[in-house]
Chains A and B, each alone.
Chain A
Amino acid sequence: MADKPIVGEKRAFMTGNEAVTWAALAAGAHIMYGYPITPQNEIMHYWTRMAPKYDRGFLQTEDELSAGFTCIGGVLAGKRAFTGTAGPGTILMQEPLSMAEMMRIPMVTVICQRGGPSTATVIYSQQETRLTCFGGNGEGYRLVYSTAGQQDLFDYTIKAFNVAWKYRFPTFILSDGYQSKMREPLTIYDPEERGIKMVETEPLLGGTGIPGVDRDPRHLRNTYNMEDELYQVVMDMDQEYKRIAPEVVEYKAMETEDAELVLVAHGIVSRATEGAVRVLREQGYRVGHFRPITLRPFPGEALKEAVAKARRVLVVESSMGQLAGMVKEELYDLSVPVTGYFRPGEGITAEEVVEQVRGR
């Protein structure tokens, strides 16, 4: 058996799906469960090639319901378990994810967004943002990292396993078809050598000792009889989510101090909007940029600060306003107008954004 998947650190040139796989290996993920769907497939392809060399497990399931529920089973057994999906698969995955939310299951899910609604395109989109954050019949107690390229995918996949097991909320890498398929240079590394200690996992079921003799049995459920009982469960979860939120939120603000216009974008689109800000600044426009890295919890306070002096906010995204909705909710009590440049299911370039700003 090979020793460590990555020794020290290395420069690499790889696709996002490859980066996710290397990160999961380096993070010590024990097992992946998955069902084929484009553009997620290659995570499984790379994983199944490398997993046996490092004694890791894989199960190809009968559908995404099963991929999600088997993944929950893997976590219950105490393993760093993960899955990945896209589009219609993300819809099916909501059922297991709602159970994971209720039972605080630290499963990691990689969402490779493709066009929607329905089967749509297999290429690219940001239309699974709301579903990833708030899918299911609950309140969205999930931790969601929206990545903007291969380095992010590597860094945040490692991080996802740690925050999931530290805070015990289902955790997501929100990627997309562009990130999945394009190649970029990045540095891959062994987390330990970077001083990143992987959070220990533990069996939630089937631990040592005879239940009822050496210890109490563990009885995990998601069904409650009384309204008050459920209310308490949800309120406790809410309190815990709010308590950890300040530790979890991440964002990137750029040139916002004096900005009259603040562009807001997440994921790969932020690469275009950041580029646009650089161009526009050179041309004398007082433009800033805000990128939420965590969409759940949302960095609302930081966003408010970033737009404090702005006369306008422009949300740019490859959906019809899924991020804009979150932004508006955060900025509700401010008077700054929130506008949008929305291209559902389509890529956005820096040039386009520059034109949008200058055209107004």
Chain B
Amino acid sequence: MATLPQPPMPVVWRSETKPHKFCPGCGHPLVLKALGESIEELGIQDKTVFGCDIGCSLLAWDFFNLDTVQAHHGRVTPVIVGLHRANPRLVGIAYMGDGGGYAIGSQHLVNAATRNEKIMVLLVNNTLYAMTGGQMAPTTLPKQKTETSPYGREPETTGKPTLGPEMIRAIAPDSAYVARGTVSRLPQLKRFIKKGLENVVSGKGFAFIEALSLCPTNWRTNAEETWKFLEQDMHGYFPVGELAPEKGEE
């Protein structure tokens, strides 16, 4: 069978496990591609350990030519913290969803940030619990309909969407790197990821990057509506950019 010419993929991209397991139109593979390219450009493939959570992030368990561990829901942060504490030569990446990071695993995220653990947390914000079928997450937007907010999220009773990077910036030491990127601006997201990795490789401090992402399956949106939801609704609520201790990049 003739194959179409393929776009260039990072060396860490494991072709044996492609096509990947994410839904068509999902944002995860875009984030992972940016991550893969960053790892390759920094030449850290031999010392990077990738950890993924439970949630759609677990579909990345065999995605890369990287040593990988798939942990429990919310617990990839402590697994990677423990690994890095035991062998500081390793570059540890904890990859998770917004439910994993801001709900069930929030105590781990908060404490890893305050301890300034030299690991990078990469959190994919798709405004809901995707793998379990689209329930409300801490990041669900006001009025957004999900399986457990069928009439739209009511901030009065369920709170306002979590602003993760803002929270981490407030509690992490100045040497931590914090940013929010989006899959609609991939070169910028990649730049953030790279800076985050550099921050941990150099031993400066913690790195936290939230990536605004797409979940057409649970949003039940077509291509046009999907991007509109990301670029209008999500970008409107979640400011994209670096969160510097004193001044931001943009």
Work out how many contacts link A and B, with CB atoms closer than 8 A.
Answer: 142
CB atoms of A62 and B82 under 8 A apart: no
In the assembled complex, the Cα of A213 lies from the Cα of B43 at a distance in Å of 13
Minimum CB–CB distance for A50 against chain B, Å = 18
For A209, give the chain B residue with the smallest CB separation: B46
CB atoms of B78 and A220 under 8 A apart: no
Contact string against B for A residues 51-89, beta-carbon threshold 8 Å, 1 for contact and 0 otherwise: 000000101011101100111111111110100000000
Q: Check if A218 is an interface residue, CB within 8 A of chain B.
A: yes
- Which chain B residues lie closer than 8 Å to A358 at the CB level? none
CB atoms of B65 and A211 under 8 A apart: yes
CB atoms of A206 and B47 under 8 A apart: yes
CB atoms of A57 and B111 under 8 A apart: no
For A68, give the chain B residue with the smallest CB separation: B78
Partner of B58, one of A208, A217, A218, A223: A223
Contacts A69-B79, A209-B46; A62 near B107 (Cβ below 8 A): yes
Contacts A61-B111, A218-B68; A79 near B86 (Cβ below 8 A): yes
Partner of A69, one of B45, B82, B84, B86: B82
CB atoms of B68 and A74 under 8 A apart: no
Minimum CB–CB distance for B73 against chain A, Å = 9
In the assembled complex, the Cα of A74 lies from the Cα of B79 at a distance in Å of 8
Q: Check if A96 is an interface residue, CB within 8 A of chain B.
A: yes
- Which of A151-209 touch B at CB < 8 Å? 203, 205-209
Q: How many residues belonging to A are interface residues under a CB distance threshold of 8 Å?
A: 42
Contact string against A for B residues 35-67, beta-carbon threshold 8 Å, 1 for contact and 0 otherwise: 000000000011101000010001001101111
Minimum CB–CB distance for B246 against chain A, Å = 28
In the assembled complex, the Cα of A287 lies from the Cα of B162 at a distance in Å of 66
Partner of B64, one of A62, A205, A217: A217
Contact string against A for B residues 93-112, beta-carbon threshold 8 Å, 1 for contact and 0 otherwise: 00000000000000110110
Most buried by B among A77, A207, A218: A77
Q: Interface residues, chain A, CB within 8 Å of chain B? A: 30-31, 33, 57, 59, 61-63, 65-66, 69-79, 81, 95-96, 99, 203, 205-213, 217-223
List 4 tightest A-B contacts by C-beta distance, closest first: A212-B65, A73-B82, A70-B82, A73-B83
Q: What are 11 contact pairs spanning A and B, CB under 8 A? A: A62-B107, A70-B85, A74-B82, A76-B69, A76-B82, A206-B90, A210-B46, A212-B66, A217-B67, A220-B68, A222-B72
Beyond A71-B82, A95-B72, 10 extra complex contacts between A and B, CB < 8 Å: A66-B108, A73-B81, A73-B84, A76-B79, A99-B75, A205-B67, A212-B64, A217-B64, A221-B61, A222-B70
